[in-house]
C-alpha cells in the first residue's frame, strides 16, 4: 500500500511539473487510483483470548493507519493540483468528498473535524448527512450534536447556507426513516436559530448569509456560550 501510495503521489507530482490543467479525464484516472486503495474494516472488540487478539488488533490498527495516511497524502496532493490548475480555489469538490469518505471509513482514529472540513468543501451534503447519521450510531454520548453543529457552522463560515440547510434536512429525513430521533440539546437549538437567518442569491446555485445575520449570530453565541465553548472549532 505504501509503495502504491508513493506512486500515486508521484503521478500527481508529474501533473504539477508539466502544469497539466484539471480535466474530467485526469480526474477519472485519479478516481481509479483512489478506488484501488484497500478498504479493510478494523475489529473494535476483543474476544476471550485477549493477548492473541489484542496483538492482532494492534497490527490491524497500524496497517489501517498506514493505509489512511498513504491515501490521504495522495488525495491531498491531488487537491492541491486541482486548486492550482482547476477552477476551484479550494480544489476539486469531488476530491474533497473522496478524502472525507476515506478518512471516515478507514482511519482507526477518525478525526471528525478533518472529515467535516473536507465534506464542506465538497459538493455532496447528502453524503455528509449519511456519514453523520452513521457516526451518531457509534459515537460517545454528547459527540453527536457536536459533530452536527460543527458541520453546519463550517458551511456557514463559507457563506453556504444552502448546504447547511440541506445537511440538516437530509439528516432529519434519514433519522426519521430509521425511527431515530434528532438530538435535542441546547447546541442543536443554537444551530436551528442560525439557519432561518436572511439570505440572498449572490452566486449561481449558492446561497450566502446577509450581513445583518451576524449581529444575530453574536447574540445567539453569547446566549449559548456554554454549549458553543465545548469545541474549540466553534470559536474559529
* Euclidean distance between CA atoms 175 and 177, whole angstroms: 5
Residue numbers of the domain that contains 214 = 111-236
Beta bridge partners of 206: 203
pLDDT in tens, 141-153: 888 999 999 999 9
Alpha carbon of residue 65 to chain centroid: 18
pLDDT at 222: 72
Q: Taking the mean position of all CA atoms in its chain, how far away is CA 14?
A: 27
Say what the pLDDT of residue 235 is.
59
- pLDDT at res. 193: 83
The three three-digit cell numbers of residue 146, written as one number: 457536536
Task: Give the model's pLDDT for residue 211.
Answer: 44
Task: Please report the pLDDT score of residue 31 as a whole number.
Answer: 97
For residues 109-130, b (16+ Cβ closer than 10 Å) or e, as one string?
A: ebebeebbbbbbbbebbeebbe
Same domain for 116 and 218: yes
**Spans of the chain, pLDDT less than 50:** 44-50, 198-208, 211
Q: Are residues 109 and 139 in contact, defined by beta-carbon separation less than 8 angstroms?
A: no
Tens digits of per-residue pLDDT, 152-191? 999 988 989 899 999 999 999 999 999 999 999 988 988 8
The count of other CB atoms within 10 Å of the CB of residue 133 is 21
Q: How many domains does the chain have?
A: 2
* pLDDT at res. 45: 45
- At 157 the pLDDT is 87
Residue 98 sits in the same domain as residue 60: yes
> What pLDDT, on a 0 to 100 scale, did the predictor assign at position 198?
45
Query: Tell me, what DSSP letter sits at residue 233?
Result: G
Residues 153 and 138 in one domain: yes
Amino acid at each position: 500500500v505504501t509503495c502504491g501510495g508513493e506512486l500515486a503521489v508521484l503521478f500527481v507530482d508529474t501533473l504539477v511539473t508539466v502544469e497539466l490543467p484539471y480535466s474530467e479525464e485526469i480526474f477519472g484516472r485519479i478516481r481509479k487510483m483512489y478506488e484501488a486503495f484497500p478498504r479493510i474494516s478494523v475489529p473494535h472488540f476483543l474476544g476471550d483470548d485477549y493477548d492473541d487478539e489484542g496483538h492482532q488488533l494492534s497490527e490491524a490498527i497500524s496497517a489501517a493507519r498506514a493505509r489512511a495516511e498513504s491515501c490521504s497524502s495522495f488525495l491531498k496532493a491531488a487537491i492541491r493540483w486541482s486548486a492550482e490548475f482547476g477552477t476551484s480555489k479550494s480544489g476539486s469538490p469531488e476530491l474533497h468528498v473522496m478524502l472525507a469518505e476515506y478518512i471516515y471509513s478507514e482511519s482507526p482514529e477518525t478525526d471528525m473535524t478533518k472529515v467535516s472540513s473536507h465534506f464542506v468543501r465538497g459538493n455532496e451534503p447528502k453524503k455528509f448527512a449519511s456519514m453523520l447519521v452513521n457516526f451518531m450510531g457509534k459515537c460517545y454520548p454528547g459527540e453527536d450534536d457536536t459533530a452536527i453543529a460543527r458541520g453546519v457552522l463550517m458551511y456557514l463560515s463559507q457563506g453556504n447556507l444552502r448546504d447547511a440547510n440541506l445537511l440538516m434536512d437530509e439528516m432529519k429525513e434519514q433519522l426519521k426513516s430509521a425511527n431515530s430521533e434528532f438530538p435535542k440539546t441546547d447546541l442543536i437549538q443554537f444551530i436551528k436559530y442560525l439557519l432561518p437567518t436572511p439570505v440572498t442569491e449572490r452566486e449561481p446555485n449558492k446561497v450566502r448569509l446577509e450581513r445583518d445575520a451576524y449581529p444575530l449570530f453574536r447574540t445567539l453565541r453569547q446566549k449559548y456560550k456554554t454549549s458553543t465553548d465545548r469545541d474549540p472549532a466553534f470559536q474559529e
